[in-house]
Amino acid sequence: MARAVRTWLTHLDVERGVSPNTLSAYRRDAARYLEHLDREGVTSPAEVTQAHVSGFLSGLRTGAGGHPPLAASSAGRSLVAVRSLHRFLALEGETTDDPAARVAPPAPPSRLPKAIAVDQVERLLEAASLGDGAVPLRDRALLEVLYGTGARISEAVGLDIDDVDTTAGAVRLHGKGGKERIVPLGSYAREAVDAWLVRGRPELAAKGTAGPALFVNLRGRRLSRQSAWAVITTAAERAGISGDVSPHTLRHSFATHLLDGGADVRVVQELLGHASVTTTQIYTMVTVQQLREVYAQTHPRAR
């Protein structure tokens, strides 16, 4: 069974080209799945039944093997990995059927993406640029790019200088599965990136081996996801924005504000890099909620 998992992970890495973060998550999920099968006495893919997969999912939710119970969303993600594994084994002829195909993931609670208001975004951007020197220039440029393009944090820190064309006003983002997309870059983001490239980046890049990286840290190396997260957290505290403000908050705000402004959901889908419009449609629930609030506050017969 362990050999089958290694073959599957190699397939994901070499042939499918999944991102390092996704591959790492799948490796962790597979390790826990192997622990479950070992407790069940299963040693080969042909021995796995639907009951084994269902039992694994149940153990994820209740906690098993010394692991704490997982939320529905986390358990569902682990099940996705297991289903991918067994689908691969069936297609490769390692098994005659797919025991995970009919095991449905738990339904996660309906949660709307968190977005902050436009004025809060402006306060956040201003807070990021407080102070003198290269770091405020970098932080402002990073947040302008995140909010101006809806990029994932991994896409933003993965940008190289050549990925950004401030003259044409466009940025090339490298998304999940090696997919690339071109996203417009607004004037505010262009100005912030230009200021960072001219007045900030040379100072920090000279301290290390940043190479082509657009955003670099104090040691002159490519900025990490964790450091970028800290930039946003610090800016939110300075701006007095309560709650959990994360890199994904800016991505949610980007999508929500576009839809509030009348953008077509399929355009937003392309900008976000979603494979399916179904993923994007959750943002329309946010705008419907806003409409309901406005209606309740303004229509004389709303109550």
Q: Which of 138, 140, 251, 257 is catalytic?
A: 251
- CB-based contact 212:157 (threshold 8 Å): no
Q: Which pair of structure tokens corresponds to residue 261?
A: 């402004």
Confidence of residue 64 (pLDDT cuts 50, 70, 90): confident
Q: Which pair of structure tokens corresponds to residue 269?
A: 């889908």
pLDDT digits (tens, 9 = 90+) for 184-233: 999 999 999 999 999 999 999 998 887 899 999 999 999 999 999 999 99
Is 176 noted as a catalytic residue in this protein? Answer: yes
Q: Which of 274, 292, 295, 301 is catalytic?
A: 274
H-helix or E-strand containing 80?
helix 72-91
CATH topology of domain 118-294: hpI Integrase; Chain A (1.10.443)
Confidence of residue 279 (pLDDT cuts 50, 70, 90): low
Q: Which of 27, 181, 221, 248 is catalytic?
A: 248
Average pLDDT in the 31-51 region?
94
Evaluate if residue 68 carries a pLDDT over 80.
yes
**H helices present in 196-264, as ranges:** 201-205, 225-239, 247-260
3-state helix, strand, coil in the chain (%, to 5): 60, 5, 35
Average pLDDT in the 61-72 region?
87
Evaluate if residue 138 carries a pLDDT over 70.
yes
Evaluate if residue 300 carries a pLDDT over 70.
yes
Distances (CA, A) of 188 to 91, 142, 143, 185, 214: 49, 12, 11, 8, 17
Residue 45: how many CA atoms within 13 Å on its side-chain side? 25
Q: Which of 77, 87, 172, 176 is catalytic?
A: 176
pLDDT of residue 266: 84
Q: Which of 26, 33, 147, 283 is catalytic?
A: 283
- CB-based contact 40:55 (threshold 8 Å): yes
Evaluate if residue 246 carries a pLDDT over 80.
yes
Is 188 noted as a catalytic residue in this protein? Answer: no
* Higher local confidence (pLDDT), 290 or 7: 7
pLDDT digits (tens, 9 = 90+) for 75-133: 998 999 999 999 999 999 999 999 999 998 887 665 666 788 999 999 999 999 998 89
Domain ranges, ordered by start, for the chain: 2-91, 118-294
Q: Cα(241)–Cα(228) distance, rounded to whole angstroms?
A: 17
Residue 63: how many CA atoms within 13 Å on its side-chain side? 4
Evaluate if residue 155 carries a pLDDT over 90.
yes
- Rounded to a whole number of angstroms, the distance between the first and last alpha carbons of the chain is 61
Evaluate if residue 237 carries a pLDDT over 90.
yes
Bin 172: left if φ > 0, else alpha if -120 < ψ < 50, else beta: beta
Is 52 noted as a catalytic residue in this protein? Answer: no
Give the β-pairing of 170-174 and 164-165.
antiparallel
Is 274 noted as a catalytic residue in this protein? Answer: yes
Evaluate if residue 290 carries a pLDDT over 70.
no
Tell me the average pLDDT of the chain.
89
Q: Which of 83, 140, 152, 190 is catalytic?
A: 152
Is 303 noted as a catalytic residue in this protein? Answer: no
Neighbour tally for 59: CB within 10 Å: 20
pLDDT of residue 228: 93
Integer-rounded Cα radius of gyration of the chain: 23
* Higher local confidence (pLDDT), 281 or 194: 194
Question: What's the full length of the chain, in residues?
Answer: 303
Q: Which CATH architecture is the domain 2-91 placed in?
A: Orthogonal Bundle (1.10)
Confidence of residue 38 (pLDDT cuts 50, 70, 90): very high
Q: Cα(88)–Cα(12) distance, rounded to whole angstroms?
A: 10
